[in-house]
Amino acid sequence: MKLAQLNIADARFETDEPQMHGFTSRIDAINALADRAPGFVWRMVDDGPEDGALSLRMEGHGPMTLVNMSVWESVEALYGFVYQTAHAKVMRGKADWFTPTIDTHMVLWWVEDGHIPNLDEAKAKLDRIRVKGPTPDAFSFTVPFDETGIPITPPMGRKDCA
């Protein structure tokens, strides 16, 4: 089993506006860092003419909602990338680029080895956690589950997350 993740964020400005430069100018480097991170398996990109990291959109969300989806070996591997690399430093500026979210904006779920999730699947998982809260089918770093559906210790503060 592998860990899939979806993260969405509503941009304050169009991605080509100067106010987004602090984010957009670093996206390629952060994605390259993810691609080399321990435990990384796959990330969704758009094969269209625009930058694949900035052009993905999800049905049911507005045109300013940016989408990030990837697959990892484990909760710990994803957590290590998100919070213990340059990614964390960049995201300290998120309030400058993204509107605050009232609703859940991230979801984790287990997928079979070799399965590549799609946006419809990810949207269903996001809707599930928004309605039911964390369950073995759709969860978060705060309330994670292992591949068998058993709750596990959240990775926050663990020194072995890398």
Look up the CATH architecture of domain 2-132.
2-Layer Sandwich (3.30)
Residue 157, pLDDT score: 54
**pLDDT of the residue at 16:** 94
H or E segment at 43? strand 40-43
**DSSP code per residue over 88-125:** HHHHTTHHHHB---SS--EEEEEE-TT----HHHHHHH
Instruction: Name residue 135's beta-bridge partners.
Output: 138
Q: What is the pTM of this model?
A: 0.92
Q: Where are the beta strands (DSSP E) in 50-92?
A: 65-72
Cβ(98)–Cβ(9) below 8 Å: yes
- Of the two residues 81 and 48, the one the predictor is more confident about is 81
pLDDT band at 162 (very low <50, low <70, confident <90, very high): very low
Percent of the residues in the chain that have a pLDDT greater than 70, as a whole number:
92
Under 8 Å between Cβ of 58 and 67: yes
